Structure 1
Amino acid sequence: MVEQKNRWSWKEQRDKSSFLALEDGTVLRGQSIGASVDTLGEVVFNTGMTGYQEILTDPSYSGQLVTMTFPEQGNYGINREDGEQYKIFANGLLVHDAPPCSNWRTSMSLSAYLCEQGIPSLAGIDTRALTIRLRDCGTMRAYLSVAGKLTPEAAVECARNWDGLNGQDYVCKVTTAAAYEWDADGRMSTSWGCFNAPLPATDMHIVAYDFGIKWNILRRLRQQRMRVTVVPAHTSAREVLALKPDGVFLSNGPADPSAVTYAVDAIRDLIGRLPLFGICLGHQLLGLAVGGNTRRIKFGHHGLNHPVKDLRTGKVEITSQNHNYVVDADSLSSDKAEVSHLNLNDGTVEGLRLLHAPGFSVQYHPEASPGPHDSMGLFARFREMIEHS
């Protein structure tokens, strides 16, 4: 057996200068495998066994330090196809073990990718202890130190003084600067999940709000024969209507939905004028637009194994999720929208249906990437809703 070179032992290395300092005073040591920069963020845990490339490049993780609960991360490296955006949006990554990568699709290692992108990461972290801490105490602010600038005590104080994500508009940090047509030449939409099959001709025009949109959502819309124009988050309803779309998609995105007031105003003006479909943050914004409220949940939903029940069909689907806020069911007006889906773990709202206008939304990610494909049919449902509107 060939000896693995450059293999490190986290048990030996984790007492070095790199550490994670939580706002409650907990300090966890590890070894840096990313960029030599310090950062702040809210620590969340993701229960997925795989999918770290998609997770890191999902704009919804902006402002967060992602803890992967599965111990081995980086095994299959980084490739050219699996990213969900052009760069990493997560503030940092925390893993238990980062072994050498081996996969025919690999273009670089996870560590090299993190360094290239300027993102700090710790391996050797006791992720089980950290996850239990977050489960019991809730999501916490933290300081990730790899540059040796601060003592653990000073890092804890920095974490406590950081604003966090509550009340913060991070959408403005991740949205596109200008409108554009998605994948006009069809190369991106055939590069994943289609086995290079020819794309069908488009016969619908959709406007997609970019609150932090994932590429696989855009692929799924395009595969439904939809021409997709992506617009910035600040785009008004009047500007959307001027594009003469057949429907409007409301994307996923980061941080607190109640802070994205400009999007809520635009969505409110679009209800009843165009069919609407929202995912994740888009779902929360639709809930706010019909008069509901959102609230933060203790440690969020981040993973690929969340059971959701469709209240109309009784069907249970396993879903991919990534959110810290939910729509408060008790705040919804009974004459505007109804709850269509529930989370079977904690009973939180997972879907809405408008009662007097064409529109629906889900809290989870039917496009997966990463995750199961149980709910992929929602994209076809969006098309059918437009056809019958």
Structure 2
Amino acid sequence: MKTYLVLSNGSIYQGYSKLKPITTAGEVVFSTGMTGYQETITDPSYYGQIMVFTYPLIGNYGINFEDNEKDTPCVSSIIAYDIAEHPSNYRSKMSLYQYAEKFNIPMIEGIDTRELTKELRHDGCIKGVITDNPNDKAVQKLLNKPVSFANHATDETTHIKGDGLKVAVIDYGIKNSIVSELVNFDADVHIFPADVSAQEIEDINPDGIVLSNGPGDPANMIDKIGVIQALQEEYPIMGICLGNQLLGLANGAKTFKMKFGHRGFNHAVKDLQTGKCYFTSQNHGYALLPESIPGSNVDVLFEEVNDHTVEGIKVKGHNAFSVQFHPDASPGPHDALFIFNKFFNMITKKEVLTNE
């Protein structure tokens, strides 16, 4: 069936879908990863976005039950040049088509994703609508409607028992892989909802705190920074992705919306302390504004090699640091797994260490 992507700038891309037509809207973004489509589709940071995969073939190894970042899809739609109907992998439990049909996720294939990606790089990530009728009046209404970034953050406290250090996690839309890395250190993990108070966390007397990833504009979450400011006075803190942006906002830095963001698994970052470079997994459309750093209470730890955006900070005079990239590497290269060592070393040695 002919299916269309209608962009807010007037462009229309025709493809086709083998699923029943579902009209849906969202911010159109692209990921440059060659694999890892399952983790991307279930990543809460992508909540409500239309995902364009730049690699020409996805779905070839199917969907399994182990690699989900959440139990249900987070993207609103999937676009690729070619989507395999018959996967081949010993872990596969269903095809990507079966998965999308199960959760009513629209998929388009046959679109020239290279041309679409070039347009998104030129015009920025803009709103789009997937529909079987581009002339439908409802399409324009959806394009005029503000983008919503509701997320998969928890609304209750979860406890994963461990015999190691007690870690409190503030969940703004956390990936399962971040929790798994904490569990790998045998941490006693307590996951709190995003609206948790500082007192509720203090009541469990944690050894350290993690500020998680999540979707949306950090500037719309100013109500969260008071809790961070209170907690950083008492506890070691590590932030990841959105957590990095919120830690920066809590200490005088500002954020901005990037033209087309960083989404993929081949983003090189440089450690400004050691000079070493690492390939990292990234997923963000917002970042800390470099010009705001000099007047803030943070120093830059990591920098993106290509566009020199801020990829990590340390709070002056506090045991608190954060990274914009995803050290959990799910999916992606494992270069940055040492960040979790850095966090636990900071807790035990009471200081932010260099990359040892």
| TM-score tier (shorter) | over 0.9
8 Å CA contact 2:6–2:134 kept in 1: the answer is: no
- Residue 122 (str. 1) matches residue 83 (str. 2): no
Give the SS at the match of 1:351: strand
Counterpart-to-counterpart distance in 2, 1:114 and 1:233: 29
Counterpart-to-counterpart distance in 1, 2:232 and 2:279: 29
- The offset of 1:261, in angstroms, is 2.1
Counterpart-to-counterpart distance in 2, 1:130 and 1:156: 19
- The offset of 1:295, in angstroms, is 0.1
- Residue 180 (str. 1) matches residue 125 (str. 2): no
- The offset of 1:345, in angstroms, is 1.1
Tell me which amino acid in the other structure corresponds to 1:372.
P
Aligned length: 349
CA change 1:95–1:313 in 2 (3 A) is same
Hey, what does 2:348 align to over in structure 1? 387
- Residue 27 (str. 1) matches residue 12 (str. 2): yes
- Residue 78 (str. 1) matches residue 39 (str. 2): no
Q: Which moved more, 1:95-104 or 1:107-116?
A: 95-104
Give 1:50-65 correspondences, 5 Å limit: 50-65=35-50
- For structure 2, the 5+ residue unaligned runs are 351-356
Hey, what does 1:18 align to over in structure 2? 3
Counterpart-to-counterpart distance in 2, 1:344 and 1:33: 41
- The offset of 1:224, in angstroms, is 1.5
Counterpart-to-counterpart distance in 2, 1:257 and 1:246: 26
- The offset of 1:36, in angstroms, is 3.5
Tell me which amino acid in the other structure corresponds to 2:7.
L
Tell me which amino acid in the other structure corresponds to 1:233.
A
Give the SS at the match of 2:335: coil
8 Å CA contact 1:31–1:123 kept in 2: the answer is: yes
CA change 1:155–1:353 in 2 (3 A) is same
Tell me which amino acid in the other structure corresponds to 1:118.
N
Counterpart-to-counterpart distance in 2, 1:343 and 1:261: 25
Hey, what does 1:252 align to over in structure 2? 213
Give the SS at the match of 2:140: helix
What's the CA shift string for 1:183-232, capped at 9, x where partnerless?
x4xxxxxxxxxxxxxxxx62210011111101110010111221111110
8 Å CA contact 1:34–1:112 kept in 2: the answer is: no
- Residue 162 (str. 1) matches residue 145 (str. 2): yes
Hey, what does 1:37 align to over in structure 2? 22
8 Å CA contact 2:269–2:305 kept in 1: the answer is: yes
- The offset of 1:162, in angstroms, is 2.1
- Residue 96 (str. 1) matches residue 81 (str. 2): yes
Counterpart-to-counterpart distance in 1, 2:71 and 2:88: 23
- Residue 326 (str. 1) matches residue 284 (str. 2): no
Counterpart-to-counterpart distance in 2, 1:358 and 1:48: 33
8 Å CA contact 1:141–1:159 kept in 2: the answer is: no
Q: Which moved more, 1:151-160 or 1:340-349?
A: 151-160
Counterpart of 1:139 (choices 96, 121, 125) is 125
TM-score (norm 2): 0.95
8 Å CA contact 1:23–1:159 kept in 2: the answer is: no
Give 1:357-376 correspondences, 5 Å limit: 357-376=318-337
- The offset of 1:155, in angstroms, is 5.7
Tell me which amino acid in the other structure corresponds to 1:138.
G
8 Å CA contact 2:251–2:296 kept in 1: the answer is: no
CA change 1:122–1:272 in 2 (3 A) is same
Tell me which amino acid in the other structure corresponds to 2:37.
Y
Counterpart of 2:135 (choices 146, 152, 167) is 152
Give the SS at the match of 1:152: coil
Hey, what does 1:5 align to over in structure 2? none
- Residue 111 (str. 1) matches residue 97 (str. 2): yes
Aligned residues: CA RMSD: 1.5
CA change 1:59–1:235 in 2 (3 A) is same
Tell me which amino acid in the other structure corresponds to 2:111.
I
Counterpart-to-counterpart distance in 1, 2:142 and 2:245: 27
What's the CA shift string for 1:55-101, capped at 9, x where partnerless?
01000001210000000010000001111111101111101001221
What's the CA shift string for 1:267-310, capped at 9, x where partnerless?
11111211000000000000100011100110010000001000
Tell me which amino acid in the other structure corresponds to 2:126.
M
Counterpart-to-counterpart distance in 1, 2:68 and 2:21: 23
Counterpart-to-counterpart distance in 2, 1:160 and 1:78: 31
Tell me which amino acid in the other structure corresponds to 2:278.
E
- Residue 292 (str. 1) matches residue 253 (str. 2): yes
Percent of aligned positions that are identical:
41
Counterpart-to-counterpart distance in 2, 1:222 and 1:112: 32
Tell me which amino acid in the other structure corresponds to 2:47.
S
Runs of 4+ in 1 over 3 A off after TM superposition: 33-36, 150-156
What's the CA shift string for 1:324-370, capped at 9, x where partnerless?
00001221355621011110111100000111010100000010111
- The offset of 1:156, in angstroms, is 5.2
